[in-house]
Structure 1
Amino acid sequence: MDRSHSLGEEKISTLLWRFSLPAIIGMVVNAFYNVIDSIFVGRGVGEIGLTAVTIAFPIMIVLMGFGMLVGVGAAAVVSLRMGEKQQEQAEKILGNAFTLSMLLSAAFTGSVLLFLDPILIMLGAEQDVLPYAREFTRIIVLGSPFMYIGFGLNNIVRAEGNPQMAMSTTLISAGLNIVLNPLFIFTFHLGIGGSALATVISQGVSAIWVLVYFLRGKSVLRLRKKNFSLDKKIVRSIFEIGMSPFLMQIASSLTTVLFNYTLLRYSGELAVASIGIINRMGMLMLMPIFGISQGLQPIIGYNYGAGNYDRVKKALKIAIGAATLFSTVGFLVIQIFDKQIIMLFNDNPELILLGSEAMRINLCMLPVIGFQIIGANYFQAVGKAGYAIVLSMSRQLLLLIPLVLLLPRLLGLQGVWLASPIADFSSALLTGIFLFRELRKLSQK
């Protein structure tokens, strides 16, 4: 069966498993690399290294946001066009996505490097942390073109019906990173710069892998020079759908900065190191859900474009069930092994005590986050950008930022940790309301 046609004909549960499993494996390995990377930094550089990476993290989030603006937006539009049997148009979208990636990469890199120190100081880097944060960020930003291709265009690999290839891209990058990180930090004594260099080299290899696939591989879509010229309609359609994950990343960056400032005010650098660990563990626990979400996107997009609404609803319900199961398991792991997890990163007794309590509170609403992620992704997959933006932004801008500003004034440091679970529950409730209304409309169709 043709790869793209199977999206509209194969059994939903089998299809979702076949598309999600490679994405889950790839995402979990990638998140596992981030955890291992932090462990190497924590052990090889110390608490100051963990703090520096946490300070620089908002820049990395924005960098990834631009990659998602193009990659996720283009992938969703490609799925819809292939469902409508418009393959030539889908290839134009791929070519435009490549051009946009290169333009955004150049603009972002130049802007950040020009004002690097002021940006890091604004993000909360104090004099002892600034040299570490500067060295790490400069290397990461210079290597951003590789990330835009390897991460951004890899979404289109999955959208055209080849989840195994998309998984291979992620595994190559993450696996190489896990090997190079300890080599550069402990063997070559390159410190925090070695960690950044390992990341850039790994992303470079995955970028070459994706380009070769679209140029000479067995891809359904081909990267052709004639499609590099930007088309206003295509760019607008990419940005409309990609704006949701992009704004979510921007909001996440703002939230991280706010968290860092608030933690420095109410506790100190150990609290900033703690939130860095918590963020990585939270992402590790959520990566299976993001994998399911990525596997679901081409199935939903293709069948919605083809008018197969019963298949859309069935895929959505199965995905929500699987996501809830994974997020609940992640919750149990965090609550039971909290101290042991923090000890992996650093053996400072104060950090272990502070970080373990913070992690239990901060991630206590994990079981409902799976539903929220899948629900918001549904609207993105069917091209309803407005709904997707509202739901994606609800947790960060509408809920979390006001809570981080308010709760610490009432509860001190405890209020910082409580802000996230309250925002998680509220955004899941809002997603449920939107999704219930949408499913009623689909039933009428």
Structure 2
Amino acid sequence: MSGTGAIGLMALFLVDLLDMFFISLLGEVELAAAIGFAGTLIFFSTSVSIGTSIAMGALVSRALGANEAEKARQLTVNVMIFAVIICAILVSLMLWQLPQLLAMIGATGNVAAAATDYLVILLPSAPFIAISMSAGAALRGIGDARRSMIATLIGGGVNAVLDPLFIFGLSMGMEGAAIASVFARLA
């Protein structure tokens, strides 16, 4: 079960790696740097979702182990709601302070502007990651790690297809990478 969980988590971060790879093919160092700075802030918001998903898995499997299926269902709903609320609050604060956050980690000028453009599109989709990760943890909690992994791999596959299409095919560049990642998170 830990293998499927690890593969699913790697697929989640593969989306960000694919954005970096395809943006680097544009040959503009500033854009690649912007993705790097943006990735730091994205990782922070994703870490909150990872934390709530760990809680989800532990609570659900514990309730099921105690033969309390109804409690497991209630915990699943409650943790998902909590994860979405916490993530939405965090993202709202991050968007509100985005220029300051980027400056704190060293982004300036065109790099900061490009990172802002990317994050303004991508960060609002973070609650969907919270839902996805919590649902995946609930699936692992009931012993269905394979389906959890497949769902995450589908998101990575969607991004792998849409990134080059939006970035190069539709000439959307950085914004295309962000939009492709949003679709991957919704998949």
TM-score above 0.5, yes or no: yes
**1:62 to 1:30, Cα distance in 2 relative to 1, 3 A:** closer
CA distance in 1, matches of 2:17, 2:38: 16
Cα RMSD (Å): 1.8
Say if 2:138 is the partner of 1:138. Answer: no
Deviation at 1:152, TM superposition (A): 2.8
Question: Are 1:97 and 1:153, in contact at CA under 8 Å, matched by a contact in 2?
Answer: no
Question: What letter corresponds to residue 96 of structure 2 in structure 1?
Answer: L
CA distance in 2, matches of 1:152, 1:197: 23
The aligned counterpart of 1:172 is 154
Question: Are 1:45 and 1:191, in contact at CA under 8 Å, matched by a contact in 2?
Answer: no
Residue in structure 1 matching 2:8, options 5, 21, 26: 26
The aligned counterpart of 2:179 is 197
The aligned counterpart of 2:135 is 153
Say if 2:62 is the partner of 1:75. Answer: no
The aligned counterpart of 1:41 is 23
CA distance in 1, matches of 2:88, 2:12: 25
CA distance in 2, matches of 1:30, 1:150: 10
Partner secondary structure for residue 129 of structure 1: helix
Partner secondary structure for residue 44 of structure 1: coil
CA distance in 2, matches of 1:45, 1:156: 42
Deviation at 1:190, TM superposition (A): 1.1
CA distance in 2, matches of 1:102, 1:33: 20
Question: Are 2:52 and 2:79, in contact at CA under 8 Å, matched by a contact in 1?
Answer: yes
Report sequence identity in percent. Answer: 25
CA distance in 2, matches of 1:204, 1:154: 14
Question: Are 1:146 and 1:200, in contact at CA under 8 Å, matched by a contact in 2?
Answer: no
Aligned pairs for 1:355-434 (under 5 A) are none
Question: What letter corresponds to residue 150 of structure 1 in structure 2?
Answer: S
Deviation at 1:78, TM superposition (A): 1.3
The aligned counterpart of 1:92 is 74
**1:118 to 1:45, Cα distance in 2 relative to 1, 3 A:** farther
Partner secondary structure for residue 157 of structure 2: helix
CA distance in 2, matches of 1:33, 1:78: 28
Question: What letter corresponds to residue 188 of structure 1 in structure 2?
Answer: L
The number of residue pairs the alignment matches comes to 187
CA distance in 2, matches of 1:155, 1:94: 9
CA distance in 1, matches of 2:64, 2:2: 19
What are the ranges of 5 or more consecutive residues in structure 2 without an aligned counterpart?
none
Partner secondary structure for residue 79 of structure 1: helix
Residue in structure 1 matching 2:104, options 122, 130, 144: 122
Question: Are 2:8 and 2:150, in contact at CA under 8 Å, matched by a contact in 1?
Answer: yes
Deviation at 1:129, TM superposition (A): 0.7
Aligned pairs for 1:283-294 (under 5 A) are none
Question: Are 1:74 and 1:156, in contact at CA under 8 Å, matched by a contact in 2?
Answer: yes
Residue in structure 1 matching 2:166, options 162, 175, 184: 184
**1:67 to 1:24, Cα distance in 2 relative to 1, 3 A:** closer
Deviation at 1:162, TM superposition (A): 0.7
Question: Are 1:177 and 1:198, in contact at CA under 8 Å, matched by a contact in 2?
Answer: yes
CA distance in 2, matches of 1:194, 1:107: 25
The aligned counterpart of 2:47 is 65
State the Cα deviation string for residues 291-349 of structure 1 (Å, max 9, x = none).
xxxxxxxxxxxxxxxxxxxxxxxxxxxxxxxxxxxxxxxxxxxxxxxxxxxxxxxxxxx
Question: Are 1:173 and 1:203, in contact at CA under 8 Å, matched by a contact in 2?
Answer: yes
Question: Are 2:52 and 2:83, in contact at CA under 8 Å, matched by a contact in 1?
Answer: yes
Question: What letter corresponds to residue 131 of structure 1 in structure 2?
Answer: A
CA distance in 1, matches of 2:8, 2:51: 20
**1:32 to 1:101, Cα distance in 2 relative to 1, 3 A:** closer
Question: What letter corresponds to residue 67 of structure 1 in structure 2?
Answer: S
Deviation at 1:25, TM superposition (A): 4.1
Partner secondary structure for residue 110 of structure 2: coil
Partner secondary structure for residue 106 of structure 2: coil
Question: What letter corresponds to residue 45 of structure 2 in structure 1?
Answer: L
Residue in structure 1 matching 2:86, options 80, 100, 104: 104
CA distance in 1, matches of 2:13, 2:39: 14
Partner secondary structure for residue 161 of structure 1: coil
Structure index of larger Rg: 1
Deviation at 1:139, TM superposition (A): 1.2
Partner secondary structure for residue 124 of structure 1: coil
The structure showing larger relative contact order (alpha-carbon pairs under 8 Å, at least 6 residues apart) is 2
Deviation at 1:44, TM superposition (A): 1.9
Deviation at 1:28, TM superposition (A): 4.3
What are the ranges of 5 or more consecutive residues in structure 1 without an aligned counterpart?
1-18, 206-445
